[in-house]
């Protein structure tokens, strides 16, 4: 295996790491995933990750690191603790698992090395997760230097999502052609509910708000592509199509403002284009 063309992806089966998996598949010839369990709430996550790796056609490896859950108390591994829904003012939310990403990257680097891989990919993001210190870029750079010194190697830790908002992460999944897969087959929810999740845990809120924002943006872009169509029929002021388009634009505007429930934008705009083609 050429070390420059292979990557190991830390994969949990969630939105972020699945997007990273497909980013890696696009950027490296050979990719494998590593799914680390640490006594978190739902072992179901692992099954999701396994299925996604299978679908992507990449090797899947699972590693048990439940020792992490014995080292400190947090609401992801202590199932009796009530999960913080918001970040407390003076501390981290109790969903913070101290040292998690440091452990994860260390395990990943050692395992990557044994497969002659030097590229590591992780889905941490500093833009949206202001909560966790080990999602920050400074930490990743420092961990990268430490791992290189520890093993006298030249690892490169890739963080494709570091500066992206959740909406931009959805956009990336869409660009990579896996928007539906990420939307329907991944599990981000702290309560272990696939796809849109339970809707009220912090992970769901972040994911669903990002999705909403992205869909709005996409809708707006679709509208822009239809503008020339409207211009074309403008001359035929009294044609029914012109009025239809005008009302369609009003509807789309209401959808963007969240005042009107969508059909879906795609269906709606497709109908319009069909109509126009027929004329
Ligand atoms: Zn949830």
Query: Do 157 and 216 share a domain, yes or no?
Result: no
Predicted model pTM: 0.81
Torsion, CA 85, CA 91, CA 92, CA 97, rounded to 10:
-120
Query: Do 136 and 261 share a domain, yes or no?
Result: no
Q: Which of 164, 199, 222 represents a domain boundary (last residue)? A: 164
Residue 244 belongs to a domain:
yes
Task: Name the residue range of residue 54's domain.
Answer: 3-164
Query: Do 64 and 156 share a domain, yes or no?
Result: yes
pLDDT at 236: 63
Residue 264 has pLDDT above 60, yes or no: no
Residue 203 belongs to a domain:
no
pLDDT at 144: 98
Query: Do 127 and 17 share a domain, yes or no?
Result: yes
Residue 189 belongs to a domain:
no
Residue 177 belongs to a domain:
no
Q: Place 58 in a pLDDT band, splitting at 50, 70 and 90.
A: very high
Residue 45 has pLDDT above 60, yes or no: yes
pLDDT at 242: 66
CA of 194 to the centre of ligand 1 (A): 9
CA of 188 to the centre of ligand 1 (A): 7
pLDDT at 41: 57
Query: Do 16 and 152 share a domain, yes or no?
Result: yes
pLDDT at 196: 93
CA of 211 to the centre of ligand 1 (A): 14
Pairing of strands 119-121, 30-37: unpaired
Residue 52 belongs to a domain:
yes
- Near ion ligand 1, which residues have CB within 5 Å? 189, 191, 197-198, 201, 204
Residue 174 belongs to a domain:
no
Comparison of pLDDT for 269 and 144, the residue scoring more: 144
Half-sphere exposure of 276 (CA within 13 A, CB side): 21
The whole-angstrom separation of Cα 267 and Cα 273 is 10
Mean pLDDT rounded to a whole number for the chain = 85
203 closest CA partner among 103, 98, 129:
129
* CB-based contact 77:40 (threshold 8 Å): yes
Residue 198 belongs to a domain:
no
Q: Which of 132, 164, 196 represents a domain boundary (last residue)? A: 164
What domain count does the chain have?
2
Residue 102 belongs to a domain:
yes
Q: How many residues does the chain have?
A: 279
CA of 176 to the centre of ligand 1 (A): 25
Residue 276 has pLDDT above 60, yes or no: no
pLDDT at 39: 79
What is the arithmetic mean of pLDDT over 133-152?
96
Q: How far is CA 29 from the centre of its chain?
A: 22
Residue 262 has pLDDT above 70, yes or no: no
CA of 124 to the centre of ligand 1 (A): 19
Tell me the backbone φ, ψ of residue 161, rounded to 5 degrees: -100, 0
What is the arithmetic mean of pLDDT over 244-270?
63
Task: State the DSSP code for 26.
Answer: H
CA of 162 to the centre of ligand 1 (A): 22
């Amino acid at each position: 295996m050429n070390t420059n063309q292979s990557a190991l992806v830390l994969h949990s089966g969630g939105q972020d790491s699945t997007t990273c998996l497909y980013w890696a598949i696009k950027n490296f010839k050979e990719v494998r995933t590593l799914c680390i369990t640490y006594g978190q709430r739902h072992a179901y996550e692992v099954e999701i990750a396994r299925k996604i790796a299978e679908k992507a056609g990449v090797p899947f490896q699972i590693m048990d690191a439940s020792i992490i859950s014995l080292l400190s108390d947090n609401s992801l591994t202590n199932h009796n603790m009530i999960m913080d829904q918001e970040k407390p003012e003076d501390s981290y939310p109790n969903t913070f698992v101290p040292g998690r990403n440091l452990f994860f990257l260390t395990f990943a680097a050692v395992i990557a090395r044994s497969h002659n891989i030097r590229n590591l990919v992780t889905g941490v993001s500093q833009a949206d997760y202001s909560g966790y210190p080990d999602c920050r870029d400074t930490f990743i750079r420092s961990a990268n230097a430490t791992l290189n010194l520890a093993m006298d190697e030249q690892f490169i830790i890739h963080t494709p999502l570091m500066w992206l908002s959740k909406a931009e992460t959805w956009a990336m999944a869409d660009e990579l052609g896996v928007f539906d897969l990420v939307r329907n087959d991944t599990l981000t929810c702290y309560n272990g509910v696939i796809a849109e999740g339970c809707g009220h845990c912090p992970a769901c809120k972040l994911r669903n708000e990002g999705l909403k924002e992205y869909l709005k943006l996409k809708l707006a872009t679709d509208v822009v592509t239809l503008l020339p169509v409207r211009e074309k029929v403008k001359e035929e002021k009294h044609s029914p199509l012109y009025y239809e388009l005008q009302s369609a634009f009003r509807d789309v505007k209401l959808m963007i403002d969240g005042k009107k429930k969508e059909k879906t934008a795609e269906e709606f705009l497709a109908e319009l284009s069909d109509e126009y083609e027929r004329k």
